[in-house]
Structure 1
């Protein structure tokens, strides 16, 4: 068992929204690893960061991503920082990975840089730009395909991904 496709990208790239649209287009389910961690812990990622710290969250995230890559089918959407983990990078080998690329203008419109994003809580625009500069090489290296999401609807992006995957299943 393995996912048909794994979505990666920065906050605001549309992983959750595009994942749902892509799953619908493929006639399958979407599994969001951030949502799964929140559900399992009974609290938000922001609360996990505040109460337990980032290392504790990253350990939970790593375990959930590994489980999802082994057990989930359909579409799996990873949190923005998940691909930075070396164990996750190894686990992604052999999967079809789509890097949803986006610029800060579109990302800020989509997520609003609110307090639910702990790594973006101080000077959100500068923090997002710094994160993206650090993460882009890894996202690009891990990607089977790169899809630009700027100014596009989730359905349009999903249609492009379906075409990249060789058509509907």
Structure 2
């Protein structure tokens, strides 16, 4: 929706990885591990940032890599979308349980990951937009307002 409103193209690095690898991210995690996936993710983000100048969506763990954070920080419109565990569970339903990094207690792991990654997102985000209780249209409005206030 944001890309449409800005009249630019949209790209998702997770989708890029799936297309390049010919399999789902969960399968990459299971077969080759998180470390291998993070190498693929770092390359996908670098490629996308070099080739794409529209709205770019990243996987939640992309900020774990210092090099990726440096690349992101060099861009002027990084927005961190946040959501709480209850909202994430409601949105994804059973798919939340299927995520490799959320094995065990998915809600507890979600909270742990969010807390661990928050300072990394703070390094690169020019704005933070909470998505809890908002429709996609409202989130888009909030992102546009946040971007406008950063000018």
- Structure with greater contact order relative to length (CA < 8 Å, sep ≥ 6): 1
C-alpha separation between the residues in 1 aligned to 2:123 and 2:68? 13
Aligned to 1:98: 79
- Who is 1:148 aligned against? 130
TM-score w.r.t. the length of structure 1 is: 0.82
Who is 1:127 aligned against?
109
Tell me the C-alpha RMSD between the 2 structures: 1.3
Greater helix fraction, Structure 1 or Structure 2: 2
TM-score normalized by structure 2? 0.91
Distance 1:155 1:94 in 2: 28
Q: Over residues 99-136 of structure 1, what are the superposed CA-to-partner deviations in whole Å (9 max), with x where a residue is unaligned?
A: 10111111111122131x11012210111011111111
| Unmatched segments (≥5 aa) in structure 1 | 1-20
In 2, Cα distance between equivalents of 1:110 and 1:156 = 16
Looking at structure 2, the residues matched to 132 and 160 of structure 1 have their Cα atoms a distance apart, in angstroms, of 21
Which piece of structure 1 moves more, 143-152 or 156-165? 156-165
Off by >3 Å, runs of 4+ in structure 1: none
Gaps of 5+ in 2: none
